[in-house]
Amino acid sequence: MANLRELSRKDELLTGGHRACAGCGAPVAVRQVLKAVDTPVVVGCATGCLEVTTTIYPYSAWNVPFIHSAFENVAATVSGIEAAYRSLKRQGRIQRDIQFVAFGGDGGTYDIGFQALSGAMERGHDMVYICYDNQAYMNTGIQRSSATPRGAATTTSPAGRVATGGKSQYRKDLTAVMAAHDIPYVAQTTISHWNDLITKVRKAFAVEGPAFVNILAPCRLGWQIDSADSIEICRKAVDTCFWPLYEVENGVWKITVKPKEKKPITEWLRPQGRFRHLFKPGNEKIIEEIQADVDRRWEMLQKRCEVGGAGMMPRE
């Protein structure tokens, strides 16, 4: 369990002065992640808003060794660094314990960097991969990604006059896909639940081998919310079970925060401008279908947790 006073005394490894929008979830997620690390850490970051806003030449907001990779291969880049470190350690040329972390947005993780991520996890590198999931390709102007939820309006899934429903597909459940890699630690969390986030990231760093943490982190522009509401909207994602907080530790599935009362999905949809069109007459059915999908996934998750992993046996 993290202690706020203790955390606030730790160095800020991502400093202020970067150019992310006020209310952007990505730097909040990164600061929380880096507060959870104790040993020296090397950071890799895929192209995307986080990288672009924190490394405006000739400045850097990162107080740690940092490498920018291409959009598609941060997992490969960091896995290479980790492999080199292991070799140098074996040769006695490095004595210190160093941690490795890769950051990518949902575009760089769910879609274009997916093969690099899957490969790094499968090869068993001792690294943590963090996806800050803002549910679209935000840096290049809000195009839909496979993380974009059904119904969201983006520039490539607009709520236009003909197709009024926004994105027609449901989001990819990448956290479950990563759990299927049978790696030591997989978790899903968000920035409104800092204690949950930090506890999970500590576990992710503590395990030997690969770990993946998916963090819901709003983009106030893409989601069309007020900057001041970023944290609150994440809470709504958890309370409606749109974004359940859970972990898969050595094959055992566990819900870490169970909402006292499951709220209707409209509480998550209504405050966001990207879903505004869903509340127009004629689109009621889309909201009903989104609710049914959330219910189905929540049921499935609870069942997985009951049996400890949908038939998967925990590791010894």
Ligand X SMILES: Cc1ncc(C[n+]2csc(CCOP(=O)(O)OP(=O)(O)O)c2C)c(N)n1
Phi/psi of residue 206, each to 5°? -70, -30
- Residue 196 DSSP SS3: helix
Stretch binding ligand X (CB under 6 A), from 41-49, 153-161, 274-282, 297-305: 41-49
Tell me the window of 132-140, 165-173, 193-201, 290-298 that interacts with ligand X (CB under 6 A): 132-140
Identify the residue among 32, 134, 157, 188 touching ligand X (CB under 6 A): 134
CA 208, CA 190: separation in Å to the nearest integer? 23
**Which of residues 23, 108, 165, 210 is near ligand X by CB under 6 A?**
108
Give yes or no for residue 48 binding ligand X (CB under 6 A): yes
Strand 211-216, strand 99-105: pairing: unpaired
Is the Cβ–Cβ distance between 217 and 191 less than 8 Å? yes
Per-residue mark of binding to ligand X, 220-249 (x: CB under 6 A): ------------------------------
Going by DSSP bridges, is the β-strand pair 211-216/128-133 parallel, antiparallel, or unpaired? Answer: parallel
Cα 41 to Cα 200: distance, rounded to the nearest angstrom: 17
Q: Residue 97, Cβ neighbours under 10 Å: how many? A: 10
Q: Name the one range near ligand X by CB under 6 A: 94-102, 133-141, 190-198, 276-284.
A: 133-141
**Residue 216 carries which DSSP code?**
E
- d(CA 8, CA 242) in angstroms, rounded, equals 30
Decide if residue 275 touches ligand X (CB under 6 A).
Answer: no
Name which of 184 and 222 has its Cβ closer to ligand X: 222
Residue 23 binding ligand X, by CB under 6 A: no
| Interface with ligand X, residue 138, by CB under 6 A | yes
Residue 146 interacts with ligand X (CB under 6 A): yes or no? no
Footprint of ligand X on this chain (CB under 6 A)?
26, 47-50, 71-72, 104-108, 112, 134, 137-140, 145
